[in-house]
């Protein structure tokens, strides 16, 4: 199975991570997950789910059991996934806090999520960051530009409306669908835009 690393940090919008994991865990993919301390608090506040830090119960987060998930404590910078020889297809940081984004842009690797992101960049692998912040300062924008120039995909949590979303879940699916597109994973979360052709001859 291909390996995908998912880092969950303390930005608002942890529902994006929850939905992404629900979809990815149904695929033939080995998921490697790390959650920051702040993210555990956001998960409790926004989803009403209490996950034990030492050994999170992903059944509660996914709404079902999954056997293709491996958890790593964010303080364990010597974890297997931190090594450059660990075969990772891609890493997704969702939601990505500005603290995490700006730290990685500066080459800081003070925890596992930051460490794996730095390795992903230097090994020229796919790194997808999903920031959820507004408004953005010049510092945020400059950090995003630096990361984008290094090959990182900056994928802001900006749901579109051309598919006429009827619920918050529809808007969440829009962003998650974009992440899956970047991962080159097929899905049916949102309808494919058919366009409006001009029939005038």
* 158 marked ligand binding residue: no
* 98 marked ligand binding residue: yes
* 71 marked ligand binding residue: no
Sheet holding 2-8, edge to edge: 69-73, 29-35, 2-8, 90-96, 126-131, 153-154
* 100 marked ligand binding residue: yes
* 162 marked ligand binding residue: yes
* 195 marked ligand binding residue: no
**Is residue 8 within 8 Å of residue 100, measured between CB atoms?**
no
* 132 marked ligand binding residue: yes
Instruction: Spell out the residues 6+ positions from residue 193 whose beta carbon is closer than 8 angstroms to its own.
Output: 162, 163
* 97 marked ligand binding residue: yes
* 129 marked ligand binding residue: no
Q: Output the known binding site.
A: 10-12, 36, 97-100, 132, 162, 178
Q: Output the known binding site for dimethylallyl phosphate.
A: 162, 178
Q: Output the known binding site for FMN.
A: 10-12, 36, 97-100, 132
């Amino acid at each position: 199975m291909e390996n995908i690393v998912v880092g969950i940090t303390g930005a608002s919008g942890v529902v994006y991570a929850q939905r992404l994991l629900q979809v990815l865990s149904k695929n033939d993919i080995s998921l490697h997950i790390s959650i920051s301390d702040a993210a555990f608090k956001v998960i409790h506040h926004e989803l009403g789910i209490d996950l034990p830090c030492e050994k999170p119960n992903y059944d509660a987060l996914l709404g079902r059991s999954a056997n293709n998930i491996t958890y790593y404590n964010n303080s364990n910078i010597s974890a297997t996934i931190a090594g450059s020889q660990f075969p990772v297809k891609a890493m997704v940081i969702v939601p990505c806090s500005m603290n995490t984004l700006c730290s990685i842009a500066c080459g800081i690797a003070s925890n596992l999520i930051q460490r794996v992101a730095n390795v992903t960049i230097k090994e020229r692998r796919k790194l997808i960051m999903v920031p959820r912040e507004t408004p953005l300062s010049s510092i945020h924008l400059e950090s995003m530009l630096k990361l984008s120039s290094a090959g990182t995909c900056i994928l802001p949590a900006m749901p579109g409306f051309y598919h006429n979303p009827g619920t918050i879940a529809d808007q969440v699916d829009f962003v998650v669908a974009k992440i899956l597109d970047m991962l080159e994973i097929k899905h049916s979360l949102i309808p494919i835009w058919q366009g409006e052709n001009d029939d005038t001859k």
